[in-house]
Amino acid sequence: MRKWVISSVIAGLFMSMITTSKASFDSISLGEYPRNSELYQSIDNENSLQQLNQMIILPNSLFDEKAAAGIINRMASLPESLLEKINQNDITLKLFTGKLTDNQTARYLAGQIPRGYHSQTTWDAVPGIGGSQVVLVKIGHSEKGKGHGSVNLELHEMAHSVDKLVFENISKNKEFQLIWEEEKGILFPGNSYFILHVEEYFAETFAMYHLNKETNKQLKSAAPLTYQFIRDIH
């Protein structure tokens, strides 16, 4: 009887850990990561950590902590109100190493060719994906040209989930579609990916708005209506 009770308690604690943590066996949440690590020493905005502690999921293995801290710092630059909405919708940003399709939420994409990529590239080699409750971003691939054409990988992919889940497909909103039709060719001349797909245009302009002063200014100058729309949704 005593053994049965002990086993039940252990099982209960185990199930509690599973249901209350967003991390899996191969990962760890930012809030659970050691505070004396290089990662934490490289985080600039500690004020946003409360919002990011459960949102950011890290590999439970060796990874580039400085590069990961850069991703975290960029996410921390998002408005507090938006971070709250992301958390309210149970959206996580899972940072990974290796192949995207090694992650459970993306395994079904193995061997498939993603939209906008050449025929030789499959989802296995793509560094990120968004639009669902689990946003995947490969550590060390944030910058344009590192397996993608976005100004910033994590902001672009998170924007897809913000679009679909937080604002219920706001890129399909009639007002935004009219803005897209008017400004897409000015902001992205000759870039069919952003010209043909309104949700990609939203994600990229969201990334431009939030990345840094230079990209923010570029967006405001070339696409003022888009700039105003992105600013107003916060």
Burial class (CB in 10 A: 0-12, 13-18, 19+), 78: buried
Could you tell me whether strands 134-138 and 92-96 are parallel, antiparallel, or unpaired per DSSP bridges? parallel
Got the DSSP string for 183-220?
A: HHHHHSTT-HHHHH-HHHHHHHHHHHHHH-HHHHHHHH
Let me know: does 86 contact 234? Beta carbons within 8 Å. no
- In the block, tokens 């193995």 appear at 110
Alpha carbon distance 58, 80 (integer Å) = 21
Active-site residue among 157, 183, 199, 204?
A: 157
Question: Can 157 be counted among the known catalytic residues?
Answer: yes
Let me know: does 74 contact 142? Beta carbons within 8 Å. yes
Burial class (CB in 10 A: 0-12, 13-18, 19+), 128: buried
Alpha carbon distance 104, 87 (integer Å) = 21
Residues classed as catalytic: 157
